[in-house]
Amino acid sequence: MDDRCSRRRFLGTAAGAAAGFGLASVIAVEPARATPSSMQDAIRKVAGAATLTAGRVKLELPPLSENGNAVPLAVRVESPMTEKDHVKAIHVFTEKNPQPDVVSCHLGPRAGRATVATRIRLADSQTVIAVAELSDGSFWSDRASVVVTLAACLEGGP
């Protein structure tokens, strides 16, 4: 429910900017290290009780995005991608979107490389986490913070 509130707040700010046109309304940058519980819950759904270790995963996001509707994202995981040792899945989570899940990619040795890319929506400046699930049952992760600026010239009215 918390997440939904922050989304509403974001929308409210956006509407204010649209009405105000000239109002500088870049969202304040906060080093959001504390991970909201809903994101933790979502991560636990895929990782269970396993430990998430930082490393092996590289989450690539621009540090500053000029529009939260389409932020390019890439995840690269160090892995030989063999039958014995490969990445089974790559999950992406956000902490301030209305819901924490973004995408879950399922791959295997036939991928050749453990690399995926897409474009995501970010409702606010926030931290994004990528989690890789390996064939040996271990979980690895990386995080990145993105500042999303608000546009001055939003569409509104009739």
Partner 1 sequence: MRRLCVALGAIALAVSAFAAEIPPSDRRSGYDFMSRETRAMQDDDTANPGMLSVLEGGTLWTRKAGGAGKACADCHGDARTSMKGVAARHPSFDAARGRPVNLEQRINACRVDRQGTPPLAYESRELLALSAYVARQSRGRPIEIAVDARTQPFLDAGRATFHRRQGQLNLSCSQCHDDQWGRSLAGNTIPQAHPTGYPIYRLEWQAVGSLQRRLRNCFVGLRAEAYEYGAPELVDLELFLMWRARGMTFEAPAVRP
Partner 2 sequence: MANVLINVPRQAKRGEVIEIKTLVSHPMETGYRRDQLGREMPRDIVRRFVCTYNGTEVFRADLHPAISANPFIVFSTVATESGTLTFRWTGDNGFSMTESAAITVD
Contact status: 34 vs partner 1 (CB under 8 A):
no
Q: Which stretch binds partner 2 (CB under 8 A): 23-31, 50-58, 94-102, 135-143?
A: 94-102
Contact status: 112 vs partner 1 (CB under 8 A):
no
Instruction: Give backbone dihedrals phi and psi of 75, rounded to 5 degrees, phi first.
Output: -125, 125
| Binders in 54-73 for partner 2, by CB under 8 A | 69-71
Contact status: 72 vs partner 1 (CB under 8 A):
yes
Q: Which of 84, 119, 136, 153 binds partner 2 (CB under 8 A)?
A: 119
The DSSP result for 45-93, as a single string, is HHHTTPPEEE-SEEEE--SEES-TT-EEEEEEE-----SSS-EEEEEEE
- Picked from partner 2, partner 1, none, the partner binding residue 105 (CB below 5 to 8 A depending on kind) is partner 2
CB of 13 to partner 2, least distance (A): 15
Residues forming a β-bridge with 48:
none
CB of 120 to partner 1, least distance (A): 12
Nearer to partner 2, 16 or 53 (CB): 16
Q: Which stretch binds partner 2 (CB under 8 A): 18-26, 57-65, 120-128, 136-144?
A: 120-128
Contact status: 16 vs partner 2 (CB under 8 A):
no
By 3-state DSSP, what share of the chain in percent is helix, strand and coil, each rounded to 5?
20, 35, 45
- In angstroms, how far apart are the furthest CA atoms of the chain? 59
Residues forming a β-bridge with 146:
126
Contact status: 69 vs partner 1 (CB under 8 A):
yes
Beta carbons within 10 angstroms of residue 36's beta carbon: 18
